[in-house]
């Protein structure tokens, strides 16, 4: 990721943060629509899970300009996800649901540059998490 992409991710997330509860609902609804089998990995009451998602996203987005500050937490999170049943093939599905949610939440502010920046951010982080949890290849960035 380059500094311009980091800025785009951070600025666009700033527009989503005020509607974080709604965005989290949209995200999980989309995730369960496209990958119904993963719903069993989540609690019946999703309120706390939605809060954790948005809190984690905020930490990651704010730490993008200094990845070393967020990588230890990302590693721990990836390893915990293995215990919940997450597999490497789930990461692209989650990424797709996240990008879809952002597109819906940002509306006209979801530009090709913003989409590319979020795609790069998710690719970088998910590649790292897969490597940490499963020993696969890391993202190149």
Model pLDDT for residues 65-76, shown as the tens digit of each residue: 998 999 999 999
**Contacts with 94 (C-beta within 8 Å, 6 or more apart), sequence order:** 31, 126
Model pLDDT for residues 25-66, shown as the tens digit of each residue: 999 999 999 999 999 999 999 999 999 999 999 999 999 999
User: What is the model's pLDDT at position 1?
Assistant: 86
**Contacts with 49 (C-beta within 8 Å, 6 or more apart), sequence order:** 28, 42, 43
Reported as a pLDDT band with limits 50, 70 and 90, residue 141 is very low
Distances (CA, A) of 138 to 7, 32, 130: 23, 27, 7
Q: CATH code for 3-134?
A: 1.10.490.10
User: What is the model's pLDDT at position 40?
Assistant: 92
Reported as a pLDDT band with limits 50, 70 and 90, residue 140 is very low
Check pLDDT > 90 for residue 22: yes
Reported as a pLDDT band with limits 50, 70 and 90, residue 92 is very high
d(CA 91, CA 122): 9
Check pLDDT > 50 for residue 7: yes
pLDDT (mean) for 89-96: 95
């Amino acid at each position: 990721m380059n500094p311009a992409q980091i800025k785009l991710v951070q600025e666009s997330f700033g527009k989503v943060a005020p509607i974080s509860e709604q965005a989290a609902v949209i995200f999980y609804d989309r995730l369960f629509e496209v990958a119904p089998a993963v719903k069993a990995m989540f609690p019946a009451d999703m309120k706390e899970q939605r809060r954790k998602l948005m809190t984690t996203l905020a930490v990651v987005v704010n730490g993008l300009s200094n990845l070393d500050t967020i990588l230890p937490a990302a590693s721990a999170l990836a390893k915990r996800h293995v215990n919940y049943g997450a597999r490497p093939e789930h990461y692209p599905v989650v990424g797709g649901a996240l990008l879809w949610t952002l597109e819906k939440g940002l509306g006209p502010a979801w530009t090709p540059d913003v989409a590319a920046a979020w795609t790069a951010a998710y690719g970088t982080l998910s590649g790292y998490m897969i490597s940490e949890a499963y020993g696969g290849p890391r993202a190149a960035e």
